[in-house]
Amino acid sequence: MDSQGQVEPRVVWAVVESGIGPLLLAASREGLVNVVFHATDAVRDRAVERLASRLGTEPVEAPGSPLLAEAIRQVEAYFAGERHDFDLPLDWSLISGFNREVLRELASGVPYGTVVGYGDLAGRVGQPGAAQAVGMAMGANPLPVVVPCHRVVESGGGIGGFGGGLETKRRLLALEGVLPEPLF
């Protein structure tokens, strides 16, 4: 229950502005469960429907929810250049198996301002030949930015793919000092 004696919904969401456009943040009682890029009305509506289907409960828009307050604060501080690490409880229920293992390693083992190759990350989880599977795990990441899939790059120096778009990946890497800021 919250401070007014109301039962907190199982999943709450809000859209916050960021240096890469609007992000939808969704949280359950277990922690942050989803981050969605480019959260315009249509994208937001699809994301909320997908969450309802996958989690079996209707997410409630609640930007003032205590479940979201710290996540919003930390995301805003990250984009302001004031925070380099996220210290949030995460709800991993939208991902499992190899993908979860890879994303947990990414979250704990690839710090701000660094990058890792797809193959190197595969090796870290004991699957050195699974670079392509790591790429699939990055594409399935339900918690981008917080679980920093933008830090995974091609071993030959290429930027690799990115579910939020390559310009978004470039901007995140520039924010972290890995790439120069775009000129325009």
Cα–Cα distance, 78 to 1 (Å, whole number): 29
- Residues taking part in catalysis: 149
Enter the tokens of residue 70.
């710290």
Angle CA(58)–CA(139)–CA(103) in degrees, nearest 5?
85
> From the CA atom positions of the chain, what is the Rg in Å?
16
CA angle 118, 150, 98 (to 5 degrees): 50
